[in-house]
Chains A and B, each alone.
Chain A
Amino acid sequence: MMDQAKGQSRARKIKARLFYLACLSAIIISLGALAVLLTDMFIRGFGSLSLSFLTSFPSRFPAKAGIKSAIFGTIWMMSLTALFCIPIGISTAIFLEEYTGNSRLAAFIKINISNLAGVPSIVYGFLGLAVFVRALSFNRSVLSGSLTLALLVMPIVIVSSQEAIRVVPRALREASYALGGTRWQTIRRVVLPSSFPGIVTGVILALSRAIGETAPLIMIGALTFIAFVPDGPFSEFTALPIQIFNWVPRPQAGFHQVAAAGVLVLLGIIFFMNGIASIIRNRFERH
């Protein structure tokens, strides 16, 4: 008996150990890949990073090439994308969670929104080209690009906001109703403040996804050689990932360096955005 029990406990310990090692190697592989990628980009691109790289327009000569128009294009596009997808996405989530109940139609819509999050981005590119560029004649403008990206990341905003709203305890809503709060007052004063950290996380994730998207922008015809800063929503534009995409296939080694430098800038912006998201989250979760 004793031996058998001992043997079992030994087998259990070995299994636990194996599982631990499996998890450890998984994290080493994924972090390792990321580290290799970052180091590679850093070695190649760091030399090209300079103030003039950030403040120059693209050029035929790698040494003179900069990303000013791409940075401004990205800022323009992200601002407009945020403007479109945040209010619509959060409102949709509120409507689905607070107003629709459990009807079949609501369940059908919810499932399809989750499905939309998995649709390849190139498909959104087609949609943007057909609707915004052609049908609505916004042409190859910042506006067309932002609307396309807003549609692309809207499901992420909706689903994460829905999840954040869903975990607000029923007891808190009841407390508000019992104090004579209407449904809207309850949403505005109780549900949204409680779900705010989750919603912010979703929004930042969505925008981080949007900022790196290339395929849909190529579809709608964002240009790669733009030597001016967009002057409005209807201006033609380029963006960081497109600029990088344009430099990478060129034969000159110099362009590969500036492409790597562009990647570093893009990563920097994404890390910055994620940093802001965690600060906001920590601030509000302390309560």
Chain B
Amino acid sequence: MKGTDVTEQARVSIKNLSAWFGEHQVLFDINASIRDKWVTAIIGPSGCGKSTFIRCLNRMHETVPGARMKGRVLLDDEDIYKSSVDPVSIRRRIGMVFQKPNPFPTMSIFDNVVAGLRLSGQARRVNLNEIVERCLKQAALWSQVKDRLKEPGAGLSGGQQQRLCIARALAVEPEVLLMDEPCSALDPAATQRIEDLIFELKKNYAIVIVTHNMQQASRISEHTGFFLNGELVEFGETSQIFTTPGDKRTEDYITGRFG
């Protein structure tokens, strides 16, 4: 693994992380660092533990019945799995965007954006209109929806729904943004827009993105981690992983020999 500066500027440090579903172990002793204001791409074939890995970073893994983990995840040197830490507060600081756009079907566009604030009862203390406008602008959706904020969020196109979900995640002002294959359900044009968006967002956030698309990983990320069968085979700077991978398996995967 390359670069001592990586750990120095790490926003999130993952130390000896293993994870299970019931008796089935899906992650084996993962060590990695997520750097602030960088995009970290997670690649690997289906079922290799990519999603489980990022779901361990905001304590979503444990919401699945039978799921458990071992190891440490440090957010700014604080272990998020310490018993005194409330998982709810961690999920506020580490936002997440899912593979399939999942706006709340019973809520309008406006209500979707502020759903996180309403959930926590913060909505009364702040100017919601301002927040909705800011987050929708950040998510590059404002111009398309500003005249129909009261309409249901489910009426938008798939790409718009995904940007609405990103706006919703941004509204709670997280410090880290996790994205689990955010473009896999979208067409190329919508994918392009999300990628542009990620480029803007990384100025302010540490971003971790799971992707099946290797071109996408090489386009948008500074760091790349390659997972295979629950192991982190290789983790380092994207340019190096894609040009001179240190491991034969990484090379085989990115040149399309399997997966």
Give the interface of A toward B (CB within 8 A): 101-102, 169, 171-182, 185-186, 189-190, 193-194, 196, 284, 287
Contact = CB atoms under 8 A, between A and B. Distances in A.
A59 to B, nearest CB: 52
Given A174-B60, A287-B154, A179 B100 contact: no
Contacts of B60: 174, 177-178
A174 B67 CA distance: 15
Contact of A185 (B89, B107, B119): B119
9 residue pairs, one from A and one from B, having the closest CB atoms: A180-B92, A179-B116, A178-B96, A181-B119, A193-B106, A171-B102, A180-B91, A185-B119, A175-B102
A186 B92 CA distance: 14
Contacts, number: 76
11 contacts: A101-B65, A172-B102, A177-B91, A179-B116, A180-B88, A180-B89, A180-B91, A180-B119, A181-B119, A190-B106, A196-B106
B65 A181 contact: no
B72 to A, nearest CB: 21
Contacts of B116: 179-181
A178 B152 contact: no
A194 to B, nearest CB: 6
B105 A287 contact: yes
A143 to B, nearest CB: 36
B98 interface: yes
B119 A179 contact: yes
Contact of B91 (A102, A178, A284): A178
Given A174-B60, A174-B63, A174-B98, A179 B105 contact: no
A253 to B, nearest CB: 55
B104 interface: yes
A179 B169 contact: yes
A190 B104 CA distance: 7
Interface residues of B, number: 29
B163 interface: no
Contact of A179 (B65, B91, B107, B154): B91
Nearest to A171: B102
Contacts of A101: 65
Given A171-B100, A287-B106, A178 B58 contact: yes
A181 B91 CA distance: 8
B95 A178 contact: yes
B115 interface: yes
B228 interface: no
Nearest to A177: B63
A198 B155 CA distance: 22
B182 to A, nearest CB: 13
B100 to A, nearest CB: 6
A178 B89 CA distance: 10
B98 A171 contact: yes
B65 A102 contact: yes
A194 B168 contact: no
Contact of B88 (A169, A181, A189, A190): A181
A182 B88 contact: yes
Given A175-B98, A175-B165, A177-B91, A189 B105 contact: no
B172 interface: yes
Contacts of A193: 104, 106-107
Interface in B232-256: none
